[in-house]
Amino acid sequence: MVEKDRSTLNAVAAALRGARRVLVITGAGISADSGLPTYRGIGGLYQDEDTEDDVPIEVALSGQMMRMRPELCWKYIHQIERSCRGARPNAAHTALVRLQDRFEQLTVLTQNIDGFHLDAGSRDLIEIHGNVRRLQCTGCGHERTVGDFTGLRIPPACAECGALVRPRVVLFGEMLPEEALARLYGVLERGVDAVLSVGTTSVFPYIAAPVLEAARRGVPTVEINPGDSEVSGRVRYRLRERAAVALPLLEDALGVR
């Protein structure tokens, strides 16, 4: 880390020392050091315009495709899960877990469906796009969590009623889960003392809004991202570094480790 970034890091640590409630918003970039791709598609996987089935990935991974051609939708969900298989939380995920006890409340709002924050031990976690390993029957609603999709028939059928089973993730064209939104609104209504944006391009309005509103109100805002995002020009502090590097260093600066 260059000297300028170390100075910024120390300024971030100083801003956080007086904070009680912190919101951390994470995207695909936080899982990059676990070996997961960060490019286009749900969970980060697809770079080309069309899939091998000659449909855009946004169509293949849509709620409508899950209803009309579940075998095609599941094909690409399976590919996403396979890209996550064997990967583990990295130093960024574990740093956030250790930082939990430094604050009265540390809420993680993640766009990722890989489940790494949960695996690492984040307690106050909002998986706004769901978790690919949580499966739900579209008929009777029966739910179960699997370690991975090994041995899973594609598309799977419910053992209870025989109806189609799908992962509890937000596909293209679907609404965000009401429970997750309610939890996020509750956190924002109670107020936060700092907002960190980590490894996300912030292209979704509901991801950028907490950062922009905090900046408007003068609440300390931090971006940890090697590249530029939709909120880069609005945050108070920018650390142009990978999350797996910056967050452990922030721990050290706060005296957590």
For residue 30, how many C-alpha atoms fall within 13 Å in the half-sphere facing its CB?
31
User: Nearest CA to 192 among 31, 16, 42?
Assistant: 16
DSSP string, the chain: --HHHHHHHHHHHHHHHT-SEEEEEE-GGGGGGGT---SSTTTT---SSB-TTSSBHHHHTBHHHHHH-HHHHHHHHHHHHHHHTT----HHHHHHHHHGGGSSEEEEEE---S-HHHHHT-SSEEETTEEEEEEEETTT--EEE-S--TT--SS-B-TTT--BEEEEE--BTPPPPHHHHHHHHHHHHH--SEEEEES----SHHHHHHHHHHHHHT--EEEE-SS--TTTTT-SEEE-S-HHHHHHHHHHHHT--
Choice among 78, 93, 129, 142 that is catalytic: 129
Q: Can 129 be counted among the known catalytic residues? A: yes
- Angle, helices 243-254 vs 3-17, to 10°: value is 50
Active site residues: 129
